[in-house]
């Protein structure tokens, strides 16, 4: 089974410090991420200036030059640079630096104006589904298809910060695949990386997890992010565990089938038995290895007369009765 694409979402955890953002990219690359993802916005596009969180977003705004700088670091470290645009101006910036993939935040799944701008690029779209009903997801998927957008991957997401284990509902990953016939991944808001590992085992084709250098830092999404050691552990655990998932049709070509003759039981004489003896249950052992007769033949064999003597531990065959 192919490993999911691992996206380290730096988001706005850099909080406007481009050198910190660059170091996060390098750390994510060393940990094995396939891509790093930022957030591209004007604070006023997301929150009213009167909102208490507005100053944090204002500090984390990035202009075209900042995007170019971070994208260059990503390229140098051989990870894809992705960002979530929160408005048409951000889409223009990301197109200008040549991003290959767009991510749509859950809050914008129903934002048709933004979806239309993304569809114009014909680039792949990662569409987060937090807070959404099936009908809302279907409407957005149909809208993008009608606009001839690039290929869409749905990301199952629970938009709680942080989400708790009982809220994750990872069974939605194969369910969304079945309903929409699209690739489905997982966007995580659960602390650490355990949910990401579980999502990979549920078949997520993309796994996005928030990323930071230190989960104890204040502000941003640090408190529910993965750190470098956690991300590296996720990549290693997925490499180990995904082959364990295998295929449901293993019963047709199972690797242990050849062991059946060794491990299954046959019918054997428990003691020396003379010719003419009428067999009882106490005369027989059910032990390995498999013989001509199996435990399923036991009832047929009981009460039959031996045609010839059997030595203790000799296998019983149909020709013996």
| Strand, coil or helix: 9 | strand
Q: What's residue 47's pLDDT?
A: 82
Q: How far apart are CA 321 and CA 306, in angstroms?
A: 5
Query: For the segment 10-34, what is each residue's pLDDT rounded down to a tens digit?
Result: 987 788 889 999 999 999 999 999 9
| Burial class of residue 156, CB neighbours in 10 A (0-12, 13-18, 19+) | buried
Measured CA angle at 125 (ends 111, 164), to 5 deg: 75
Please compute, for residue 301, the number of CA atoms within 13 A of its CA located in the half-sphere on the CB side: 28
Pairing status of strand 184-188 against strand 152-157: parallel
Helices 88-97 and 64-76: angle between axes, nearest 10 degrees:
40
| Strand, coil or helix: 36 | strand
Long-range contacts at 84-88 (CB < 8 A, ≥ 24 apart): 84/11, 84/37, 84/38, 84/39, 84/40, 85/40, 85/41, 85/114, 85/117, 85/118, 86/39, 86/40, 86/41, 86/42, 86/45, 86/46, 86/114, 87/41, 87/42, 87/45, 87/114, 88/113, 88/114, 88/117
Q: What's residue 221's pLDDT?
A: 67
- Phi/psi of residue 268, nearest 5 degrees: -130, 155
Whether 171 and 202 have beta carbons less than 8 Å apart is answered as: yes
Both tokens of residue 276?
Answer: 């003419």
Q: How far apart are CA 256 and CA 204, in angstroms?
A: 28
Whether 127 and 156 have beta carbons less than 8 Å apart is answered as: no
Query: For the chain, which residues score pLDDT lower than 70?
Result: 1, 219-223
Measured CA angle at 182 (ends 206, 107), to 5 deg: 65
| Strand, coil or helix: 19 | helix
Whether 114 and 89 have beta carbons less than 8 Å apart is answered as: no
Query: For the segment 297-319, what is each residue's pLDDT rounded down to a tens digit?
Result: 999 999 999 999 999 999 999 99
If we measure between CA atoms, which residue out of 172, 165, 220, 213 comes closest to residue 190? Answer: 165
Q: What's residue 220's pLDDT?
A: 63
CA diameter of the chain = 101
Q: How far apart are CA 91 and CA 122, in angstroms?
A: 12
Both tokens of residue 112?
Answer: 């048709």
Whether 234 and 196 have beta carbons less than 8 Å apart is answered as: yes
Q: What's residue 17's pLDDT?
A: 86
Structural domains present in the chain: 5-246 (3.20.20.70), 257-320 (3.90.1210.10)
Q: What's residue 53's pLDDT?
A: 77
């Amino acid at each position: 089974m192919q490993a999911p694409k691992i996206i380290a979402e730096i988001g706005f955890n850099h909080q406007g410090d481009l050198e910190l953002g660059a170091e996060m990219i390098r750390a994510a690359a060393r940990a094995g991420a396939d891509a790093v993802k930022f957030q591209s916005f004007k604070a006023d596009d997301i929150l009213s200036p009167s909102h208490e969180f507005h100053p944090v977003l204002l500090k984390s705004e990035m202009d075209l030059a900042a995007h170019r700088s971070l994208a260059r670091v990503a390229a140098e470290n051989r990870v894809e640079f992705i960002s979530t645009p929160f408005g048409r101006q951000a889409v223009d910036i990301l197109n200008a630096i040549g991003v290959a993939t767009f991510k749509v935040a859950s809050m914008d799944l129903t934002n048709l104006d933004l979806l239309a701008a993304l569809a114009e690029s014909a680039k792949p779209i990662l569409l987060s589904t937090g807070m959404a009903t099936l009908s809302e997801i279907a409407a957005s998927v149909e809208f993008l298809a009608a606009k001839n957008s690039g290929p869409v991957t749905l990301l199952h997401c629970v938009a709680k910060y942080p989400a708790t284990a009982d809220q994750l509902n990872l069974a939605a990953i194969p369910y969304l695949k079945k309903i929409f016939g699209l690739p489905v991944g997982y966007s995580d808001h659960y602390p650490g990386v355990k949910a990401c590992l579980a999502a990979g085992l549920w078949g997520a084709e993309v796994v996005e997890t928030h990323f930071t250098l230190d989960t104890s830092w204040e502000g941003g999404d640090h408190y529910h992010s993965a750190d470098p050691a956690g991300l590296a552990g996720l990549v290693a655990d997925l490499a180990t565990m995904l082959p364990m998932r295998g295929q449901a049709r293993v019963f047709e070509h199972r690797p242990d089938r050849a062991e059946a003759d060794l491990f299954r039981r046959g019918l054997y004489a428990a003691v020396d038995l003379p010719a003419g003896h009428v067999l009882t249950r106490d005369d027989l052992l059910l032990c390995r290895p498999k013989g001509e007769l199996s435990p399923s033949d036991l009832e047929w064999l009981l009460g039959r007369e031996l045609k010839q003597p059997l030595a203790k531990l000799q296998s019983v065959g149909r020709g013996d009765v």
